[in-house]
Every structure is written in C-alpha cells, then in structure tokens.
Amino acid sequence: MPRILLVNDTEKPIGELRGALLAAGHEVLEEVVAVGALLKAVESQQPDVVIVDVDSPSRDTLEQLALLHHHAPRPVVVFSGDGDEQLIRAAVGAGVTAYVVDGLAPTRLAPIIQVALARFEQQSHMRKRLDEVQQQLHDRKLIDRAKGLLMEKRGMSEAEAYAALRQQAMKHGSKLADVARQIIAMADLLG
C-alpha cells in the first residue's frame, strides 16, 4: 500500500480523511499543516503519494506543488471545493495528477489514489522518453557540427568526417557525441 502524506491547507480538521486512509490500510505519514513546508516534508518522509485537502488552491499552494513536481516528483491528489476550470488547469500544470471536487467519500479514495499512481507513472515514462529524445537530438547536432569542422579544416567529405569521428570514438571507447564535444572544444580553443 502506498505511503501517504497529508497536507491540510484548510481550517477544517483532516481527521476523516486520515481515518479513511488508515482504514483502507495505508500508512499515513505526519501531516503537513503549512503548504510552505511541503517540499521539506516530502524529502524527509519520502511518501508515495501526496494528498492535499484545500478549499481552493491558492497561488502559494500551486507554486509549492510546482516546486515539488520539479524537485521531488510524486503523485499529488488535490481534494478541493473549487471546480473553476482555470484553477484546475493551473493545478494540473503545477504537477497535480488528480483533482477531485466536492466530495471525499472513503469508498472513492482507493480508486482515486490508484488513478493518480498510474497517471504519474505514465507521465514519468513520457518525461524520461522525451529527455532521451532531446539528448539524442542534442548529440546529433554536436556530431553534425564536429563533422562540419572536420570537413572545413581537414578537407574531408561528410562520410570521411563521420568515419573519423566513429574511429576516434571506438579507439578511445567513447561515445560519438563525446568525441564531437572534444573536437568542438578544441576548435573553439584554437580559434
């Protein structure tokens, strides 16, 4: 069962939510009463899911959730009384994986948490894949620039420049992009 960190950003007691989570078999960590302490609490307690109970997410709450999403990503479920479409979009933009309006029925908790976990896993996979593709594109640009330098400075054809890069990479057990980076650095140094 996921470990849950509760964040109470309202005046109302959060005991009902805590009780429902405990009854469902979840480990409920120490409650965070100030949203400003959220990132520190997540880093120290390492929850699997963060649940925020709020009347209406304030700008500060959304900023803290965005910081959390950037520095220590976790599935975040927000229970709110405010169903404003722009607010929901802002919350999702801040990294919220599930935004539930009006209602905290204990029977709905398990499916909501499962959806948040599944959506977070899917998003994490997509972010990882995007990072890989961006790195490949960056590497490709470096290799093309290094090939261009070899073609210009050594009078090589494109195929010869690529073969020279590849041979150098194999000779030193390096990646092609690393060899390209070294050639570009040397060219910059030599002018």
The pLDDT of residue 50 is above 90 = yes
Q: What is the model's pLDDT at position 179?
A: 96
Position 15 confidence tier, pLDDT thresholds 50, 70, 90: low
Q: Tens of pLDDT along 112-153?
A: 899 999 999 999 999 999 999 999 999 999 999 999 999 999
CA R_g for the chain = 25
Domain count, the chain: 2
Q: Is residue 47 part of a domain?
A: yes
By residue range, what is the domain housing residue 159?
A: 130-190
Is residue 74 domain-shared with residue 37, that is, in the same domain? yes
Q: Is residue 110 part of a domain?
A: no
Q: Could you tell me which of 6, 8, 90, 10 has the C-alpha nearest to residue 45?
A: 6
Q: What is the model's pLDDT at position 109?
A: 85
Alpha-carbon distance 104 to 142, whole Å?
A: 52
Alpha-carbon distance 59 to 57, whole Å?
A: 7
CA 139 to chain centre: 22
Q: What is the model's pLDDT at position 24?
A: 85
CATH of the domain at 151: 1.10.10.10
Using an 8 Å Cβ cutoff, are 133 and 122 in contact? no
pTM: 0.72
Q: Could you tell me which of 102, 93, 88 has the C-alpha nearest to residue 53?
A: 102
Domain-terminating residue out of 70, 104, 138: 104
Is residue 7 domain-shared with residue 100, that is, in the same domain? yes
> What 3-state class would DSSP assign to 105?
coil
Q: Is residue 116 part of a domain?
A: no
CATH of the domain at 45: 3.40.50.2300
Q: Tens of pLDDT along 152-166?
A: 999 999 999 999 999
